[in-house]
A and B are shown apart, each in its own frame.
Chain A
């Protein structure tokens, strides 16, 4: 997981609260991705960013917003958290071979 950091590592929210998950990379790659991982569902793409200033929806974008602040950082925002968003969230980088961050474990009560 070298080169990709995610904060926070753990978070508990109440339904309706908002929060932003942060991802930063020091590998100078253009492409960054947000996935969620759920038991029995595998990893699913939420949003991705091909380059600074661009973002695109993935398979499960509803309830999320993203921001590509600069080449290093790609944030994921939950405006009004729901229990269905309880999951482990992973940030990934690069095009050809993807590398993943350590993840954020989010629980929404």
Chain B
């Protein structure tokens, strides 16, 4: 059974710092990996999607990498801002079609002004 772990569970950094969030998964046979952001009391917003054949994806100050063989992904946030404060979730899909996502429990990020 696929398990997804996110470390740390919570992180507090001063504004302007670059930071890395980690995601690991037990079964390396994944189809893709998706990073989400969730603000308190809100739904999930998709940030980046990495297909299994890709090594990384970038969107603005965000960069997500994928190392399938080691079962790891990282989300890099450059020049963090207080508006980046949220919970970040990682999820993997084993196959194409309707195979559901398996989620990690998230990293709660606080960026202090």
Contact = CB atoms under 8 A, between A and B. Distances in A.
- The finding on whether chains A and B are genuine partners in a shared complex, rather than unrelated, reads yes
Interface of A: 1, 31, 33, 40-45, 48, 50, 56, 58-59, 90, 92, 95-103, 105
A105 B46 CA distance: 20
Interface of B: 32, 34, 36, 41-46, 49, 89, 91, 96-98, 100-101, 103-106
Residue among A50, A97, A98, A99 with most chain B CB within 10 A: A98
Query: 4 tightest A-B contacts by CB?
Result: A100-B44, A42-B105, A43-B103, A50-B98
25 contacts: A31-B98, A33-B100, A40-B105, A41-B105, A42-B89, A42-B103, A42-B104, A42-B106, A43-B101, A43-B103, A45-B101, A59-B100, A90-B43, A95-B96, A95-B97, A97-B34, A97-B46, A98-B46, A98-B91, A99-B46, A100-B46, A101-B43, A102-B42, A102-B43, A103-B42
A48 B100 CA distance: 8
Nearest to B106: A42
Contacts of A48: 98, 100
Nearest to A39: B105
A71 to B, nearest CB: 15
A103 to B, nearest CB: 5
Contacts of B43: 1, 90, 100-103
Nearest to A94: B46
